[in-house]
Amino acid sequence: MMRGSILVIEDNEDIREAVRILLENENYAVTEAENGAKGLELLTEDTDLVILDIMMPGMSGLRTCEEIRKISNVPVLFLTAKARESDKLVGLIAGGDDYMTKPFSYAELLGRVKALIRRYHQYRGKENVEGQEESEYLETRGIRIHRKYNEVWVRGRHGNLTDIEYRILLLMIKNPKKIFSAQNLYESIWNEPYFYNCNSTVMVHIRRLRVKIEECPEEPVYIHTVWGRGYRFGG
């Protein structure tokens, strides 16, 4: 039984083949693309994860990720030789969910793939079915969010959130008075130990979430920064 469908977008044939063999040995269905344009053509509703290089001829991985985000919330894992912290931030801002650098550990890659797909399967948005109980939703201050699935409405409009953005928002709405430090959020959402550079990862996702739910992200009414402590939902 296949564990998920993965699209690998990588211009280096050797790396592409190595990743394909690794994933197929773990019972993932793998589709390959040698550039961003081809990758966008091969992306479907059944794709569970995109593994994406950044430095590719033609359309870069960053541009490809931005185009993916226009049509899909599928998790995107950057796998690239660009190893600076600033490169990681740029990748996350472009819409990436995770970031690994080359050369990479096969064990770590598999671990991240499994985690991203597991979260995507668990929190993927579902069509509302007739007879759903209202209690399956939380409603507060113009936001309506499903307790289990990535289904969010903000001031009557559907919120197109990634799974990580959805999980951050749900966690904060469930705990409106709690101040979450970057460490609290990272360990709760990513389920990984927190290191100092993880703060920038949290910051980028908070920024992206604000852009999607706030009328004026520079003056947020939902997600407030509590200076020196973290973030809090509400006033």
For 5-14, how does the pLDDT look when each residue is reduced to its tens digit (9 = 90+)?
Answer: 999 999 999 9
**φ, ψ at 108 (rounded to 5°):** -65, -40
> What average pLDDT does the segment 80-88 reach?
90
The reported pLDDT for the residue numbered 235 is 55
pLDDT at 44 over 60: yes
Residue 160: C-alpha distances to residues 18, 90, 119, 122, 165 (Å):
33, 20, 16, 17, 9
pLDDT at 216 over 70: yes
Q: Which residue has the tokens 């797909």?
A: 117
On whether the CB atoms of residues 19 and 8 are closer than 8 A, the answer is yes
pLDDT at 132 over 50: no
Please state which of the four CATH numbers 1.20.120.1200, 3.40.50.300, 1.10.1020.10, 1.10.10.10 is assigned to the domain occupying 134-233: 1.10.10.10
Q: Compare 126 and 160 and report the one with higher pLDDT.
A: 160
> What average pLDDT does the segment 15-41 reach?
95
Q: What percent of the chain has pLDDT over 90?
A: 71
Cβ–Cβ contacts within 10 Å for residue 104, how many? Answer: 16
Q: Do domains 5-122 and 134-233 have the same CATH topology?
A: no
The reported pLDDT for the residue numbered 160 is 87
pLDDT at 128 over 70: no
Residue 131: band (very low, low, confident or very high) from pLDDT cuts 50, 70, 90: very low
The reported pLDDT for the residue numbered 197 is 82
Of the candidates 35, 44, 117, 137, the one whose C-alpha atom is nearest the C-alpha of residue 76 is: 117
The reported pLDDT for the residue numbered 220 is 94
Of the candidates 133, 215, 121, 205, the one whose C-alpha atom is nearest the C-alpha of residue 169 is: 205
Residue 192: band (very low, low, confident or very high) from pLDDT cuts 50, 70, 90: confident
The model's pTM: 0.70
pLDDT at 134 over 60: no
Give the start-to-end residue ranges of the domains of the chain. 5-122, 134-233
pLDDT at 65 over 90: yes
Residue 121: band (very low, low, confident or very high) from pLDDT cuts 50, 70, 90: confident
**φ, ψ at 29 (rounded to 5°):** -85, 125
Mean pLDDT of the chain: 89
pLDDT at 92 over 80: yes
pLDDT at 178 over 60: yes
Regarding beta strands 230-233 and 223-226, do their DSSP bridges make them parallel or antiparallel, or are they unpaired? antiparallel
Topology at the third CATH level for domain 5-122: Rossmann fold (3.40.50)
